Structure 1
Amino acid sequence: MNRQAQAVVLLLLGGAVVRASLTDLHLRYVKEGLRPFLIAAGLLLVAAAVMTLFYELRPLLRRTPAGDHDGPAGGWRPRRAPAPDAPGDGDGGHDGDGHEGDGGHGGHDGHGHREPRVGWLLILPVLGLLLVAPPALGSYAAGQAGTAVTTRQQPSDYPPLPAGDPVRVAVLDYASRALFDQGTSIGERRVQLTGFVTTGPDGRPLLARMVLSCCAADGRPVKLGLTGAAPDGLADDTWIEVTGRYSDRIARDPVNDAEIPYLDVESWRQVPVPRQQYE
């Protein structure tokens, strides 16, 4: 891969990053707050590629002024490369011992250095961003990882829930209040949560939501058990909105033996996949 090919691959990679950043595609990889940094990184890659191409192609665009003895009068023509030195002339020829001088190409035989062909592998992430749109982490990832709410905090001091009936809360917020605050800050309030269905170890459905610290690589699930009028017969990765009240029931996650809180469901409905699937 020569320098020009490297610049083209870099240009494609930067363009793919910018394209993903300007659409909702980036939400499948990173948190929404990282969008400005992705755009800046993509633009820097594009700028670096354009400058590399400019400097590589600039010698081909050089022209000599009119009246040069190599060109016709009043015209322009590409600048000619200087003729090679004759043998024995200057440092580039052979010396008396038949050795090549320092000014020649030495043992390179006129050929430039070749970059490793492994550089072509850089085009794989470009194709991945342009041609493949992987789904966000879902029930399979949730089943392979333990719930993210694992550490008890004593004492806990959660603020009161916002006004509303039911009040919308995040799955992580409800799980934290249910485990760390034993539902004190929830009380008898009705809450409404949105997440996807994943099958628990007992075959019953769980409500789950993936949480990210930075990107999808560190995504971990928050799981809630469902009692009462819980949905049944739904396929994994079905997104639902549930309304219910705090339940003091606790289960154990078989993956990491962490506690899974429950929600006493009063009603539920299936909803479209949200734009932002991570919390």
Structure 2
Amino acid sequence: MNRQAQAAVLFLLGAVLLHAGATDLALRYVKADLRPLLLLSGAVLIATALATAWYERRRGRRSGPREHAHPEPRVAWLLLLPLLALILIAPPALGSYSALRSGTALQKPYAYGPLPDGDPVPLSVVDYASRAAYGHGRSLHGRPVRVTGFLALDRSGAAYLVRMALNCCAADAQPVKIALTGKLPPVLRPDAWLEVTGRYTPRLTHDPVNDGPVPYLEVTSVRPVPVPSDPYDETWNN
């Protein structure tokens, strides 16, 4: 791979990063807070590619036709692998397969903020689970809640509403789970995204993977919803 080819690969990789950072594609890989860094990386790669191409063109004009450039190592073509992966492979967000093989990542919060307005109250999976498991439902004041996540079914058929939470990127994503009881649909499909309305119940179980707390939600109604643009729980570590 000569310098011109390297510049072309860097340019294409930078363009793909800019596209991912400017669209919801990036949210399959990193937290929304990291999108500016992704855009910056793409811009730096494009600037580097343009500078390399300009420099090589000037050097070619100065050196003349008799000078022969030494070939670059063939291993440089491996730069194409991340580019092809980003272009050809757009994996879905982590789902029930990963959730059931990882223990819940629920952690006790330092404090609980005020409940959002609304009836039912819109809560994230992490927010409801922490208020139910560690706050024993006191902060919910008996109000109905609405929670959105994807469905996971264990080997016994028990249903969980799950949202994957991440610190940085999809590689460190961990599930937070809510066990469901009450008025569930007769047919449950793993990985289906659901908007669940229900009430706090003091019932609590423990994750068989790491023995972490998994609170229950007593379901009163269920509505299927499309996969959100950001499939990971946005309240994690906030």
TM-score (norm 1): 0.78
**Alignment of structure 1 residues 246-261 onto 2, 5 Å:** 246-261=200-215
State the Cα distance separating 1:264 from its structure 2 match: 0.5
Deviations 1:133-184 (A, max 9, x none): 11111111111211111x446xx64233123210100000001111111111
**Matched residue, 1:22:** 22
Deviation digits for residues 18-67 of structure 1 (CA, Å, limit 9, x no counterpart):
111111111100111211111111010000011001111113345xxxxx
The corresponding residue for 2:97 is 140
Q: What is aligned with 1:107?
A: none
1:191 aligned residue: 145
Q: Partner of 2:176: helix, strand, or coil?
A: strand
1:159 alignment partner in structure 2: 113
User: Matches of residues 51-200 of structure 1 in structure 2 within 5 Å?
Assistant: 51-61=51-61, 113-149=70-106, 151-152=107-108, 157-200=111-154
CA distance in 2, matches of 1:53, 1:172: 49
Following superposition, the deviation at residue 112 of structure 1 comes to 5.4
Aligned residues: 233
Whole-Å separation in 1 of the counterparts to 2:18 and 2:116: 37
Q: Tell me, in whole angstroms, the C-alpha distance in 2 between the residues paired with 1:44 and 1:53.
A: 14
What residue is the counterpart of 1:75 in the other structure? none
Distance 2:130 2:225 in 1: 24
2:163 corresponds in structure 1 to: 209
Q: TM-score, normalised by structure 2?
A: 0.91
- The SS at the match of 1:185 is helix
Q: CA deviation at 1:251?
A: 1.1
Larger radius of gyration: 1
Distance 1:80 1:158 in 2: 72
Which residue matches 2:9? 9
Measured after TM superposition, the shift of residue 201 of structure 1 is 4.2
Letter in 2 for 1:129: L
The one-character-per-residue Cα deviations of 1:111-135 (angstroms, maximum 9, x if unpaired) are 7554332221110110111122111
Identity %: 54
Letter in 1 for 2:210: N
Higher RCO, Cα 8 Å, sep 6+: 2
Letter in 2 for 1:32: A
Distance 1:228 1:80 in 2: 80
- Secondary structure of the structure 2 residue equivalent to 1:136: coil
Once the 2 structures are TM-superposed, how far is the Cα of residue 187 of structure 1 from its aligned partner?
2.5
Structure 1: gaps of 5 or more residues? 63-77, 82-109
Q: What's the secondary structure of 2:80's corresponding residue? A: helix
